[in-house]
Amino acid sequence: MARVGLILTPGFADWEYAFIAGTGSPFYGIDVRFFAPSTGQFSSQGGLTVSVDSSLQQCLDWKPDVVAVIGGMAWEGAEAPDIRDFLQASHSSGASIAGICGGTLALARAGLLDTVPHTSNSADFLQQNALNYEGRALYQNSSVAVVADRIITAPGPAPVSFTCAVFDSAGLSSEIVSQFRSMLAAEHR
């Protein structure tokens, strides 16, 4: 069974993880679990109160196929959690690392975006909010997720392509991923 670890912080963006958690386990058999840099109870941007009792070390020990850092305002501030070592260790152990919206800042701070094509909310967003980010030359101004060398990045308004990339990296067949994408795109035809 594929494993996807979702990393949440206080003020996490409700729409950025919903398709992964809401369909990954019940419809596609993915073991989806939640982890946090600081465990406990906190609220999403939309006001949903959650309790996350699993630490980043527990995530490492669990050995997920994909680690997805969910965005939120916490990543933009000076008090942003430092998860560089966790992300580097997860990637070194074979996990794909995904970040959406503010979550891409954690990947940039960990140096994971310095050598691969990637996207985010904008190149300036990464440059202004991620000290030591050196990947600007590889930045792609994309409205959908970008995947390179087991690194998945997406801007905030791209939860569908982000979910598809996470599902693909978790090992779902291209047929299932395509069906999922088509189902969610149907309302825009």
DSSP string, 54-114: -BHHHHHHH--SEEEE--BGGGTSTT----HHHHHHHHHTT-EEEEETTHHHHHHHTTTTS
Q: Break the chain down into helix, strand, coil percent, rounded to 5.
A: 40, 20, 40
Distances (CA, A) of 41 to 52, 73, 82, 117, 143: 6, 17, 19, 35, 32
Could you give phi then psi for residue 19, rounded to 5 degrees? -70, -35
Q: How far apart are CA 5 and CA 25, in angstroms?
A: 12
Count the neighbouring beta carbons within 10 Å of the beta carbon of residue 62: 13
Question: Two tokens at 171?
Answer: 């090992």
Q: Which CATH class is domain 3-188?
A: alpha beta
Q: How far apart are CA 89 and CA 86, in angstroms?
A: 5
- Single out the residue of 182, 140, 141 nearest to residue 161, CA to CA: 182
**pTM exceeding 0.85:** yes
DSSP string, 122-134: -HHHHHHHSTT--
Quick one: pLDDT at residue 12?
A: 97
- Rounded to the nearest 10 degrees, what angle do helices 159-169 and 174-185 cross at? 170
Quick one: pLDDT at residue 188?
A: 80
Q: How far apart are CA 177 and CA 163, in angstroms?
A: 9
Q: How far apart are CA 138 and CA 52, in angstroms?
A: 34
Could you give phi then psi for residue 187, rounded to 5 degrees? -70, -10
How does pLDDT run along the chain (189 residues), one tens digit per residue?
A: 899 999 999 999 999 999 999 999 999 999 999 999 999 999 999 999 999 999 999 999 999 999 999 999 999 988 999 999 999 999 999 999 999 999 999 999 999 999 999 999 999 999 999 988 999 999 999 999 999 999 999 999 999 999 999 999 999 999 999 999 999 988 887
